[in-house]
Structure 1
Amino acid sequence: MQRLDHHYIDGRWVASRGTRWLPVSDPYREQLIAEVTAGDPADVDDAVAAARRALPAWQALSGAERGAYLDAFADALTRRREALIRLSCTNNGKVLPEAGIDLDDAIACYRYYADQARALDARQGQPVALEMEGIEARCYHDPAGVVGLITPWNFPLVTSAWKLAPALAAGCTAVLKPSEVTPLPEQALAEIAAEIDLPAGVLNLLHGDGEGIGAPLTAHRDVDKVSFTGSNRVGEAVMRAASEGSRGVSLELGGKSPVLVLDDADPEQAADWIMAGIYFNAGQICSATSRLIVDASLADTVYAALASRIDALHLGDPLDERSDMGPLTSARQREAVQAYLAVAEQEGLTAVRDARHRTLPEQGYFLAPTLYRDVPTTSRLWREEIFGPVLCGRSAANEAEAVELANDSDFGLAATVISGDSDRAKRVGRQLRAGSIWYNSEQLVPPQTGWGGFKRSGIGRELGPWGLSAYLEVKHIIGPQ
């Protein structure tokens, strides 16, 4: 059993000052596979100081030089791909194909921001068109400074890439806190930093929980910006902490995303896209399309198609190539989802499929993929993020009602529109208040497109040029020609 008792600070492995230990589990075998330090505020002080010392020299490098390091991260992840896929399956519970998608997404992200770093050189000092005779202005883009990056447990190596790659491309130095639930895959980032000779202090990786590392990091006065992905409850606490000192903050929070099936959709094809949107990663996705809004004329056909596909899902060992869905990542998360299933029982929701329709594996933090139909809009399951393999459906009389139901939510992260007419699907998508709208497809997230949401789904955007802008400050130099 591993013991993660060291942080990566200032280019060296340094013993944690923490005195508490946290269990790290294999969610399929329900076995302890590691212990990780909870960390200590003094560790945060050391890491932030190292990042501050490294900032001037890292910022002074050209974008091309920083891009070369990001390409080196991508190369190193590629070399480790198969081992990291299996490690993610073991620590997170993802099945093999899902973990493979994750690794490829992370590699593509580092490649993309390597290119963005190189392109940044050409943007520096661009003239600004003015109407003032004899005066010139030029625009520059400076790094935000020392950034604190806090990532969740559901997409190890992916969400860290979404933050770390643009931060380093921009010229920031970073203190990264991966989730204490899935620290094993993220440990590779520090190992890679040492392997590629990333300058000391540019990346500092701290293991720990919210008390030992997270809260001290978000409140640290020498951190210029915090980027957090996780729950709304914690995200709002991060924002309050960052407000002391008026420090920048980016938040990627919850979702309750709809999937709209219009009256001209192919029910069988729609069922495939619906399945991919809710049961991938056992529903533990902030963008999970967990609200099904189906035209009343197609409802019975779509529910029947979904039922047959749910029955065909093989739940099992994430490392078994036959498995379609693994366990939830932790016993705690399974309990949280079970609490919602108890609410559904109390509310008398109609289950098309639930635990009564299958036998679960004898070991592992499994929950049966669940589908309810005709769920009232007042139900907690319709309105709150469940973060598990639970799909709630309602019928809509027409397109206008479908759009109204979709937008009636506190969240606005993502949505899917399914129609036999792509132009119609795109037109409906323009009416939805969400950051990413897919039409007639699975949930594709290319690194070139932005990621983030409206309303309570967060503040700011990751990925694309907007992800780089999140770590840049705009500077203008103005004077006589």
Structure 2
Amino acid sequence: MKEIASYAMGQWVAPDAAARSVDCAITGAPFARIGNGTLDTKAMLIHAREVGGPALRAMNFHERAKMVKALAMALGEHKQALYDLSFHTGATQKDHMIDIDGGIGTMFVFASKGRRELPEAHVYVDGELEQLSRHRSFMGQHICTPLRGVGVHINAFNFPVWGMLEKLAPTLLAGVPAIVKPASSTAYVTELAVKIMLDSGLLPEGALQLISGGVGDLFDGLGPQDVVSFTGSAQTALMLRSHPSIAQNSTRFIAEQDSLNASVLGPDAAEGSEEFDLFIKEVMREMTAKAGQKCTAIRRIMVPDAQVQAVIKAISAKLDALTIGDPREESTRMGALVSASQKRDVLAMVDTLATESKIVWRDEARVPTTGAFVSPVLLHCESPDTATEVHATEAFGPVSTVMGYRDLAHAAALVAKGEGSLVTSLITADPAIATAFVAEAAPWNGRIYINNRHSMKESTGHGSPLPHMVHGGPGRAGGGEEMGGIRGVMHYMQRTAIQGSPDMLTAIGQKWVPGADQITGPAHPFTRRFSELLLGETLHTASRTITLEDIETFAHFTGDTFYAHMDEAAAARNPFFPGRVAHGYLLLSFAAGLFVEPNEGPVLANTGLDSLRFMKPVVAGDAIKVALTVKRKTTRNEEYGEVRWHVSLTNQDDELCATYELLTMNAL
């Protein structure tokens, strides 16, 4: 009998007399014990806030991103142990790839995005500067800083690894400690993953704690700086969301819950087409992967009225060839539900659905009699407009219902009857169909997945939430969002509007703001290494007069003989120009000539420019000069870092003609 422990305040806490048993999904026999009635969950919150939080906040975003990557690597080294244990949940080897490999991959994505999209700093600058005064001496800027609370993660049974890691990665990246509470029926897999991460020595004390079993009075201790991220049933979400502490303290609550997801076969996807075959493949995969125990699984199959029987026949043929059995066998294509109680729930939901839909495929004879195995069930709803249960009852297993639609608007209306879904897929090769459908269906969905013959080889599948994109949905789906790249990190940070002088905003945001003090370095900045450069360090160049010969030579040399540069009368008729003007790219080239130090030095490469704007035309006879200022520095590896330079180009009257950000890689 396996003992599923909790990890609290730096100690593993074994189950006690209050523990209950957890059964193996394959055999139905008792497999583990979980629960400790004396676990001090309020003390865990305090430990996370007072020990874990300060340790994480002492690290900058990049240091935390490196930690997340290293944790993913540690988990990857122990995947086989996680696979072996996960079989007891009823999952097949392919299911492990979704849960375990998918969770590790999610951590890698967040680590990468943290390095590329977050600053090497402790404050995240959100959006552009706001000019609040005429002469730019008083400015506004939004920033995001880590909350001083705890991320409390309540996870579902179906993904004991991915479900934890897709919440944990953005939480740690934000600099917030986490308390993880997995569903008891599969918590033994989560426990092993937590142990691997803790044993790696990568996490600061208090950054990660685990509750195996009941949460006790945890919610009584929640405050205004905490975040609850929940995945599970709508009923449980409502109960937790209604807790007095959450209501009184405005504790952030993110919910991902029941969802009647749909897949729509486009009216252009006729039987025999590549899109039709793709649709059947997607439906079959979503019905049987994880034995249908996926929050993104296809519950409603919507097809043109004329295609209903063809779709039922094609799905049934696939189900006829399905092998159901012990997930440890290589020939098995669908394993068991997670528990006997889950099996009872699914069968009860099937009975409910059958009150208004006809079962068109079911084969109990091929299902093992031990454990929590069930047969897939395919239903057909002939009257989806008047039916209610098919749009409200989620059988969380290998169960799906086919229904016909008259036209695209009818299909979108049927999707909306689910009152909010995590995902709806549309299989079509017609961009006009996709455009019209998205306009109607998007308000009811967190994600719309469109696939066809052109994208199917590289597409990730209807049921695959990706860390780059938001995972959540409106209404019945919970109204929350998870992941979504850096958007997911922001759930654990506070956005604050900062108002003050450019110098104040520079100091707070660790990013030079135009108008702030400029520093004159001891030498040309291109001769100074990355580590020597200071924010605000500025080079002011000499000036260069633009001649008509410069303009004409550049035009003929590049082939850019646009009339504004070559025809005085035509240029004068243009409302933007006083007459012939210098090319914008000529100005950039001359600007580089003014500020570049040509000798070999610490500047290794120019990697691009951002935010280029031309403010005032430059005509022959104007003299331009440049101010080159260190705006932000970001270490990229042990050899070099990225320097972001603010470049302003002015004329002889100190009028701003152009501005942009130059990116260079400089040796450390």
TM range (shorter): over 0.9
The count of corresponding residues between Structure 1 and Structure 2 is: 471
Separation in 2, partners of 1:375, 1:48: 52
Q: Is the 8 A contact 1:39 1:207 kept in 2?
A: no
CA displacement, residues 359-393 of structure 1 (integer Å, 9 cap, x when unaligned) = 31132211111111134432424421111111111
| TM-aligned CA deviation for residue 15 of structure 1 | 4.7
| 1:270-314 per-position Cα deviation (integer Å, ceiling 9, x unaligned) | 211111222221111112111111101211111110010011110
Q: Tell me what 1:361 maps to.
A: 368
Q: 8 Å contact 1:93–1:326 — kept in the other structure?
A: yes
Alpha-carbon separation, structure 1, partners of 2:421 and 2:154: 21
Of 184-193 and 327-336, the range deviating more from structure 2 = 184-193
User: Does structure 2 conserve the Cα–Cα contact (< 8 Å) formed by 1:93 and 1:318?
Assistant: yes
Q: Aligned to 1:150, which of 144, 148, 154?
A: 154
Instruction: Assess if the C-alpha contact under 8 Å between 1:417 and 1:429 holds in 2.
Output: no
The aligned residue for residue 435 of structure 1 is 446
**Stretches of 4+ aligned residues off by more than 4 angstroms:** none
Shift, 1:248, TM fit = 1.0
CA–CA distance in structure 2, aligned partners of residues 474 and 348 of structure 1:
48
2: CA distance, partners of 1:355 / 1:376: 25
Map 1:203-242 to 2 at 5 A.
203-209=208-214, 213=215, 216-222=217-223, 224-241=226-243, 242=246
- For the residue of structure 1 that corresponds to 2:470, the secondary structure is coil
Among 138, 142, 149, the alignment partner of 2:141 is 138
- Structure-1 residue corresponding to 2:493: 472
Contact 1:355 1:367 in 2 (8 A): no
Deviation at 1:25?
A: 1.8
Q: Deviations over 1:392-419 (max 9, x none)?
A: 1111122221111111122321111112
TM-score, length-normalised on structure 2? 0.67
Match of 2:359 among 321, 344, 351: 351
From 49, 52, 55, give the equivalent of 1:52.
49
Counterpart CA distance in 2 for 1:422 and 1:459 is: 28
Once the two structures are TM-superposed, the CA of residue 125 in structure 1 deviates from its matched residue by 4.6
With a CA cutoff of 8 Å and minimum separation of 6, indicate the structure with the bigger relative contact order: 1
Q: Structure 1's 320 and 182: CA in aligned 2 closer, same or farther, altered over 3 A? A: same
The one of 20, 27, 30 equivalent to 2:28 is: 30
2:279 matched residue in structure 1: 270
Structure 1 residue 258, shift from structure 2 partner = 1.1
Q: 1:228 is matched by which residue type in structure 2?
A: F
Contact conserved, 1:375 with 1:392, CA < 8 A, in 2?
Answer: no
Secondary structure of the structure 2 residue equivalent to 1:413:
strand
Distance 1:7 1:341 in 2: 36
Contact 2:446 2:471 in 1 (8 A): yes
Distance 1:14 1:27, change over 3 A: closer
Instruction: Give 1 or 2: higher helix fraction.
Output: 1
The alpha-carbon distance between structure 1 residues 160 and 335, as it changes in their structure 2 partners (threshold 3 A), is same
Q: 1:270, 1:302 within 8 Å by CA — same for their partners in 2?
A: no
Residue 299 of structure 1 is aligned with which of 299, 302, 308? Answer: 308
Q: Is residue 66 of structure 1 aligned with residue 77 of structure 2?
A: no
1:348 Cα deviation from its structure 2 partner: 6.3
Shift of 1:423: 5.2
Secondary structure of 2:412's counterpart equals helix
CA distance in 2, matches of 1:227, 1:382: 26
- Once the 2 structures are TM-superposed, how far is the Cα of residue 256 of structure 1 from its aligned partner? 0.2
| Equivalent position of 1:457 in the other structure | 477
For residue 447 of structure 1, the aligned residue among 461, 467, 483 is 467
CA gap 1:221/1:350 in 2 versus in 1, 3 angstroms? closer
The alignment partner of 1:447 has SS state of coil
One-letter code aligned to 1:37: G
Contact 1:314 1:322 in 2 (8 A): yes
Structure 2: 5+ residue runs without aligned partners?
503-668
1:315-345 CA-to-partner distances (Å, cap 9, x unmatched) read 0111111111111101111101111233345
> In the alignment, which residue of structure 2 is the partner of 1:251?
255
Structure-1-length-normalised TM-score: 0.92
What secondary structure does 2:3 align onto?
Answer: strand
Q: What's the CA shift for 1:65? A: 1.4
Structure 1 stretch displaced more, 424-433 or 22-31: 424-433
Looking at structure 2, the residues matched to 65 and 411 of structure 1 have their Cα atoms a distance apart, in angstroms, of: 38
Paired AA for residue 357 in structure 2: L
Does residue 8 of structure 1 match 2:16? Answer: no
